[in-house]
Every structure is written in C-alpha cells, then in structure tokens.
C-alpha cells in the first residue's frame, strides 16, 4: 500500500509538500445505410446481400428514475481507498497527477515490489478525475469540439448539420484484465443482432470505452503478446481500426496508458515500455513506525470504508481543486528556450533513442509548474521529473550496477550547472 524509493529523484521532496495530510444497452445510432436498405432487414441488391451497420452497447439518455437507480448502484459498489490516504509513494503519486493534468504526457509505468500499493494507488485516482465534455449517447466519449477524438457517428451528424447533445462526465478509468480476448479489447460484430435482425452491428470494446480516459493494465509485463501488439498500434496512432467479419470501422482510441508490475515476474517489451511517458519505481517501506501507520490506516478502512473515506473528504476535495486549477492554467505555462536546449542536451548525451524523451520531459515540467501554481518552468521542476521521463529509455547495460535514475540525475546536474 505504500513505501518509499531510494532514488535521487527530487519528486519525493516536492510531493511530500503536495500531500500534507499523509507525508449498456443498444442505441439507435447508425452509420448511413446503403441505398435500397431499410429497417434492419437484409435485401438483395445487385446480386449481393447488404446490411445496415449500427453501433450497439451505447449509453443513451437517462431518465430521473434511472439516474436514481444508477446513484444507488454506485453507492453499493466496492469502496475505493482515498488517494490522499496513501502513505508515502510520492514519486508514483506525482507521476499519476501530472498525467491527469496533461494526458498528452503519455501515461505511467509503475514497477516495484509486490504489496506496495501500486494497484491501490492507481484505482484511488477515480475520485480525483475531472469532468470532460462529451457527446451524449456516444460509445466513444467523443469531444463535440475536437474532430480528432470524435467517433464515426458524431462526424456523420456534424456533416449533416445536426445539433449535438452535450453532457459533462468524469474521465473514465478502464481496467484491462490479463485474460481479456482481442475481440473484447478491440470490439467485434454483435452476433445477436446479426442473427436476429440481419444488422451488421459493431459492438465497441475496451479501447472505445477508454477513449479520452485511462486504460489501466495491472501486471502489464504478463500481458499476452497479441494484446501488447493491439495496445502498441492504438497507442502509436490514437485510433483503433477493426477489420473483421465484414466490418470495417475506425474510431479514436486516445487514452492515458497506466501499467503496473513486479520486475521479478518478467521484463516488459522495449517497444511497449517506450510508449509509457513516465516511469515510477516503488519499494517496500523500511521504517517501522511508518509500516505500523500503514497497517493501522488499512485496518480502519477495512472496518468502516464509508467513515474512513469521509475523514479524507477535505483532502480529496483540495486535491481535486488543485488538479482543476492546474488543467486550466496549463496552456499559459511557458518554458524558457535555454532550458529546453539543456533538456535536449541531457537526452542526447545519455544516448536516448528518438525524441519522445525530450517531448515528455517538456510536457511533464510544464504540468508540474501548473500544479505548483507557477506560470514558468524552473530548473527545479525539470530536476523533479526528468528521471521519471528518461529512466526507462536508457539502453540497458547488464554490467551496470547503478540505478538508471541516478545516471539521469548525474547528467542533469552536469549539464545544468
């Protein structure tokens, strides 16, 4: 549930001040049918059977009675451990917060010992996620203003000049289980509709649900290779293309990829590791007093989750306000040209492949400055985030005993001083 990491990263010093409390059913949304087709039945047209294509499992407008039922259902769900109650693990918490502030950072890979609260911390982010504007009843959480993250039906409606119904909803967090099938992840044909109505219906998968949200993979280093290939493709392009059973559809799949795992259970493929914007290392806490505090807090939560969550309500709301403020001020945050040159020099001298390291470090430093309430990035901000942005991008030397995060910090001070 918690721990501290013996790393030279300056994340811990800042984050300890940041956390003072504890240092669907089917919907009638259709793609345009071919001429001569109607009412979901199949017709012979020029010697071939043709089908109307629809999207199923879309959230539709909710009545007041349904809204009350959903609220009651939410209350009965398994309670989530509060983010503000996580003891220690400041590096991991900071990386997660920065990705919520700027999703374009590209996610977090969390590696560490078993039982150190990796999954608990990630899932506790649910309460802190801000609201976003989405098109009502859309399966892909389409943004009504950004064509790059709009599903096919929304784009069709805009081309026809139809008015879009817009609602606000919290950013979605989707769990990708290790046993998931490729069909469930990518989406597939709705067999029931095809057999009963003659409709070639596309049933969206987890990638559609995760669009503009968070996709979390626990034990990501144990994920099957074919699912890793799917994630690589979607993470690279931001789109998911499905070509199967006569269905051809592309939809946006832009998500914050968060993974966690234990390095003793196997390494992650370098191609996938590079897709994570930041890398956080967590370890088992050694301080006896802190361990007792962690055990006591967990026992309190297990005894009465509702009361425990109430005791941290003030801290949670404070963090929510901080995140909302940082997201709104982020576009105004600037980073000096000299600092950007030095960031690139660090990456070049560490022989970091590609330019993702440069881009992510710039983005993370700006997000941290926004979280602090500053409008300009400082060298201290860069020192805090650069180990997490570059550590996993260094080429592995099997004979090297020093931690890669320390190598980054050494090079940072060499270049910046």
Measured in residues, the chain has a length of 417
Tell me the C-alpha distance between 282 and 269, whole Å: 20
φ, ψ dihedrals at 75, nearest 5°: -65, -35
Residue with token string 């009502």:
136
Q: What are 119's strand-pairing partners?
A: none
**Phi-psi category of residue 189: left, alpha or beta, with phi > 0 → left and psi -120 to 50 → alpha:** beta
CB contact set of 359 (below 8 Å; sequence gap of 6+)? none
Q: Is the dihedral of CA 43, 47, 49, 54 positive or negative?
A: negative
Per the annotation, the verdict on 356 as an active-site residue is yes
List all residues 6 or more positions away from 54 whose beta carbon is below 8 Å from its beta carbon. Answer: 26, 28, 29, 30, 31, 40, 193, 199, 200, 201, 202
Choosing from 254, 275, 356, 363, the catalytic residue is 356
Strand partners, 189: 202
Alpha carbon 88 to its chain's center: 22
For 176-194, the DSSP string reads --TT--HHHHHEEE-HHHH
Q: How many helices (H) and strands (E) does the chain have?
A: 17, 15
* Contact between 255 and 216 (Cβ < 8 Å): no
Longest CA pairwise span in the chain (Å): 78
Alpha carbon distance 84, 189 (integer Å): 42
Helix axes 313-329, 356-372, angle to 10 degrees: 120
> Is the Cβ–Cβ distance between 22 and 85 less than 8 Å?
yes
Q: Are 277 and 105 in contact (CB under 8 A)?
A: yes
The answer to whether the beta carbons of residues 322 and 365 sit under 8 Å apart is no
CA distances from 393 to 25, 220, 277, 295, 387 (A): 43, 17, 10, 35, 10
Q: Which residues are catalytic?
A: 356
């Amino acid at each position: 549930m918690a721990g501290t990491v013996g790393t030279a990263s300056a994340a811990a010093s800042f984050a300890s001040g940041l956390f003072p409390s504890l240092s669907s059913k089917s919907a009638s949304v259709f793609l345009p049918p071919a001429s001569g087709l109607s009412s979901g039945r199949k017709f012979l047209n020029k010697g071939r059977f043709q089908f109307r294509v629809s999207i199923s499992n879309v959230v539709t407008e909710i009545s007041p009675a349904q809204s009350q039922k959903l609220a009651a259902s939410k209350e009965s769900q398994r309670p989530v451990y509060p983010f503000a109650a996580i003891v220690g693990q400041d590096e991991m918490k900071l990386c997660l917060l920065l990705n919520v502030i700027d999703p374009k950072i590209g996610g977090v890979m969390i590696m560490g010992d078993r039982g150190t609260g990796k999954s608990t911390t990630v899932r506790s982010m649910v309460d802190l996620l801000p609201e976003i504007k989405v098109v009502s009843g859309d399966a892909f959480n389409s943004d009504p203003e950004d064509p790059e993250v709009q599903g096919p039906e929304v784009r069709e409606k805009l081309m026809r000049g139809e008015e879009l119904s817009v609602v606000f909803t919290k950013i979605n967090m989707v769990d990708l289980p290790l046993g998931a099938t490729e069909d469930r992840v990518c989406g597939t044909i709705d067999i029931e509709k095809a057999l009963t109505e003659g409709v070639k219906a596309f049933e969206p998968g987890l990638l559609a649900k995760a669009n503009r949200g968070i996709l979390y993979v626990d034990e990501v280093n144990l994920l099957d290779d074919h699912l890793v290939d799917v994630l690589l493709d979607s993470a690279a392009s931001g789109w998911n293309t499905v070509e199967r059973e006569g269905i051809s559809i592309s939809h946006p799949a832009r998500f914050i990829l968060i993974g966690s795992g234990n390095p003793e259970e196997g390494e992650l493929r370098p191609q996938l590791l590079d897709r994570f914007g930041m890398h956080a290392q967590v370890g088992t806490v050694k301080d006896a007093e802190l361990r007792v505090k962690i055990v006591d807090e967990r026992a309190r939560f297990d005894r009465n989750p509702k009361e425990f969550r109430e005791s941290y309500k003030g801290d949670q709301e404070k963090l929510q306000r901080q995140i909302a403020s940082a997201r709104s001020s982020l576009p105004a945050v600037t980073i000096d040209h000299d600092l950007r040159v030095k960031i690139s020099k660090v990456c070049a001298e560490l022989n970091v492949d590609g330019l993702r390291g440069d881009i992510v470090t710039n983005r993370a430093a700006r997000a941290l400055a926004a979280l602090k309430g500053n409008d300009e990035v400082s060298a201290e901000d860069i020192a805090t985030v650069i180990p997490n942005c570059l550590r996993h991008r260094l080429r592995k030397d099997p004979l090297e005993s020093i931690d890669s995060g320390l190598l980054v910090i050494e090079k940072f001070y060499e270049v910046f001083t």
